[in-house]
Amino acid sequence: MTTSKKTSSPEQTPLEEAYPTTVEGLVLEERLGYALRRAQLKVFKHFDEAMREHDIRPAQFSSLVVIEGYPGVTQSSLAQTLSIDPPRVVSLINSLEERGLALRVRCKRDRRSHGIFLTKTGEALVERLKGLAEQSDLEATQSLSEIERRQLLTLLRKVYASEEGGD
Amino acid sequence: MTTSKKTSSPEQTPLEEAYPTTVEGLVLEERLGYALRRAQLKVFKHFDEAMREHDIRPAQFSSLVVIEGYPGVTQSSLAQTLSIDPPRVVSLINSLEERGLALRVRCKRDRRSHGIFLTKTGEALVERLKGLAEQSDLEATQSLSEIERRQLLTLLRKVYASEEGGD
Helix (H) / strand (E) containing B104: strand B102-106
Of the two residues B74 and A10, the one the predictor is more confident about is B74
Percent with pLDDT over 70 in chain A: 84
**Could you tell me if B59 and B49 are in contact, meaning their C-beta atoms sit under 8 angstroms apart?**
no
107-136 of B, contacting A, C-beta below 8 A? 107-109, 113, 115, 130, 133-134, 136
Q: What is the mean pLDDT of chain B?
A: 87
Q: Do A23 and B66 touch (CB under 8 A)?
A: yes
Average pLDDT over residues A23-40: 93
pLDDT, tens digit (0-9, with 9 covering 90-100), for A67-102: 999 999 999 999 999 999 999 999 999 999 999 999
Residues in chain B: 167
- Name the residue facing B8 among A109, A152, A161 (closest C-beta): A109
B163 pLDDT band, cuts 50/70/90, is low
Which of the given ranges, A6-10, A14-18, B108-112, has the highest pLDDT on average? B108-112
B165 touches A158 (CB < 8 A): no
The 10s digit of each residue's pLDDT in A93-150 is: 999 999 999 999 987 776 677 899 999 999 999 999 999 999 999 999 999 999 999 9
| Residue A38, amino acid | R
How many angstroms away from the CA of A30 is the closest CA of chain B? 7
Amino acid making up residue A118: L
